[in-house]
Amino acid sequence: MKFMIVGKANEDIEAGALPDPEYVERMHAYNEELAKAGVLLAAEGLYPSSRGARIAYSGGRASIVDGPFTEAKELIAGFWLIQVKSREEAVQWALRVPMPPGYDGVGLDVWQVYDAADTPDTAGMSPEAAEWESALRERLGDRAC
């Protein structure tokens, strides 16, 4: 099962403040622990929302809103993509994420990632869609969606 651990931002993170070097070392050690356990698929930090864009749809049309975004509680600072045996294991890994003191407002969400491998390849798909899915998985190999 794949899970995404989403690290929430706070005002300091959104302002672009860099973490203390000691905290960065603790985060590297955590990431190394995930890798050694064989569960880490990806881990990345994100720039503040001022460097991003939000796309909203209404009436079949897209509108683009440039960052920064005002609701810091809805922003994310980074993520880990892990592959574990259960939701409980994913939560246990999330509980081990090092958090620097004084980062009130920072939190984590743990989301199960839908993996097409969790269902039969053709469940509910038209023959054309099943063929497309199979071809895509073949092209992606180990990176399959």
Residue 91 is predicted with a pLDDT of 97
Average model confidence (pLDDT) across the chain: 86
CB-facing half-sphere around the CA of 139: CA atoms within 13 A = 6
Q: What percent of the chain has pLDDT over 70?
A: 87
User: Domain check: are 86 and 137 in the same one?
Assistant: no
CA distances from 32 to 10, 22, 85, 98, 104 (A): 25, 15, 19, 13, 25
Residue 17 is predicted with a pLDDT of 86
User: Domain check: are 33 and 103 in the same one?
Assistant: yes
pLDDT in tens, 73-89: 678 889 999 999 999 99
User: Domain check: are 16 and 64 in the same one?
Assistant: yes
Residue 88 is predicted with a pLDDT of 98
User: Domain check: are 89 and 19 in the same one?
Assistant: yes
User: Domain check: are 31 and 78 in the same one?
Assistant: yes
pLDDT at 123 over 70: no
Q: What domain range is 8 assigned to?
A: 2-113
Q: What is the number of structural domains in the chain?
A: 2
pLDDT in tens, 34-46: 999 999 999 999 9
Residue 99 is predicted with a pLDDT of 84
